[in-house]
Amino acid sequence: MNEYKPIVGRAVTWLTQACLGVAMVLLVLIAVLIVTQVVARNLFDTGLPRVDEAARFAGIAMVYLAAPFLLLRGQHVAVTLLVELLPRLGRRLCLVVGELATLGFCVLTLYGFYRFLLRAGRFATPAMGMPNLWFYMPALVGLIFLAVVAAYRLGLLASGREVEE
């Protein structure tokens, strides 16, 4: 049983680092796409709707794929003023509530995506013609990984171990 947790921890770390690597590539892609679009408009007097849509896709994917890494390391946006004033037990309780809230958010959002994609999944994006299912897939994957990280952090808290804040 003691070997199981480090294996799970390494797997979760590897998974989130892989997502972060993809997010960094997407950030570079966004910059290239935006520069391409500016050059096309200013020098050639033409709009590139596919480039605009591709940049939007990359931006959505980047945000959702970076979030699990940030949550795992405790580097997500958090207001900790009150939590830091609490005794150890109060801090742990706040962390548990926060992880449960994150897990609940993921479940509700994934359900919302499911209901949305039941209808909109068969349609394509206007410029690239990409099916909506594929357009929103990085967000779905990111939310699933975010839920995995929240569950992992809950497991750490339940076993009495520390999580990064």
Q: CA 158: distance to chain centroid?
A: 24
H-helix or E-strand spanning residue 31: helix 4-44
- In total, how many domains does the chain have? 1
- Nearest-5° angle of CA 134, CA 50, CA 135? 10
Q: Is 128 contained in some domain?
A: yes
Q: Is 163 contained in some domain?
A: no
Q: Is 164 contained in some domain?
A: no
Stronger pLDDT, 162 or 40, i.e. the higher one? 40
> Taking residues 6-12, what's their average pLDDT?
90
Instruction: Single out the residue of 23, 24, 26 nearest to residue 54, CA to CA.
Output: 26
Range of the domain at 66: 4-158
Q: Is 165 contained in some domain?
A: no
d(CA 149, CA 13): 9
pLDDT digits (tens, 9 = 90+) for 45-66: 998 999 999 999 999 999 999 9
How would residue 1 be classed by pLDDT, with cut points 50, 70 and 90?
very low
Tell me the sheet residues that pair with 131: 124
Sign of CA dihedral 33, 36, 40, 42: positive
Query: Buried b / exposed e across 17-30, counting CB within 10 Å, b at 16+?
Result: eebbebbeebeebb
